């Protein structure tokens, strides 16, 4: 009798174990499609984010490289690289309307130094035609630095040359140019008459000396004099 009871109890235990395994297998099978769906959704979200990031980066202003024949009897070429700010500002009347800032690097055939120009489309830069005037320049996460400015010979109030005059002191323009080779983002803050001191963001990644100096003039037409 005891053997029959023990046998019945063992049989019941086996049946319970089998039914439990079947239940676990069914539960696991039910969970697997949910996990696959969640992973697919995560992969799709990541792909969309990467696509959006790539599109945003592609929409940023890019460097443009140019060369012009030097206006010198000895010949040679002048090299230019320019980029517009990623942000825009809107000044008060009479200079209203969205506008960018512009950063220009140039290497003239007549000079052994680089020149760095900051320009706006409209308005009056307070440092234009003033001595001992500075603007703030920040490279990536480095602390901002103050750089002296000079003006062009035409006294244009929308253009500043950044860095000391190399004829009278250390050439900070060469320092700025070297930093541009390493930086990703440059911020320039300059006072503008009756419009505060706006900050212009330049996404400068990709600039190199090789690209600046490697550009060559377009071939002249055979019909050119």
Ordered structural domains, the chain, with CATH? 61-213 (2.60.40)
Q: What's the pTM? A: 0.70
Q: Which residues of the chain have pLDDT under 50?
A: 2-10, 12-18, 21, 53, 220-225
Give the per-residue pLDDT at 139: 97
For residue 109, which phi and psi values (nearest 5 degrees)?
A: -60, -25
Query: Which of 136, 126, 121, 120 is closest to 176 using CA atoms?
Result: 136
Give the per-residue pLDDT at 2: 44
Angle at 138 between CA 185 and CA 169, to 5 degrees: 125
Give the per-residue pLDDT at 49: 55
DSSP codes joined into one string, 160-219: EEES--TTTS--HHHHHHHHHTT-SEEEEE--BTTS---EEEEE-TT--HHHHHH--PPP
């Amino acid at each position: 009798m005891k053997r029959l009871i023990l046998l019945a109890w063992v049989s019941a235990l086996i049946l319970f174990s089998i039914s439990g395994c079947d239940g676990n297998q069914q539960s696991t099978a039910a969970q697997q499609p949910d996990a696959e769906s969640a992973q697919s959704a995560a992969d799709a979200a990541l792909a969309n984010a990467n696509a959006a990031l790539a599109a945003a980066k592609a929409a940023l202003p890019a460097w443009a490289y140019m060369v012009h024949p030097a206006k010198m009897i000895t010949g040679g070429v002048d090299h230019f690289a320019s980029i517009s700010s990623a942000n825009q500002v809107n000044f008060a009347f009479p200079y209203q309307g969205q506008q960018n800032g512009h950063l220009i690097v140039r290497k003239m055939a007549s000079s052994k130094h680089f020149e760095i120009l900051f320009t706006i489309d409209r308005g009056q830069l307070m440092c234009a035609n003033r001595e001992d005037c500075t603007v703030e320049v920040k490279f990536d996460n480095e602390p901002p630095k103050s750089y002296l400015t000079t003006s062009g010979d035409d006294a244009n109030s929308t253009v500043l040359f950044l860095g000391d005059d190399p004829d009278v002191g250390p050439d900070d323009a060469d320092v700025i140019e070297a930093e541009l080779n390493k930086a990703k983002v440059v911020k320039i803050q300059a006072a503008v008459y009756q419009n505060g001191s706006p900050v212009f963001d330049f996404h400068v990644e990709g600039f190199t000396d090789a690209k600046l100096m490697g550009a060559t003039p377009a071939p002249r037409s055979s019909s050119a004099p």
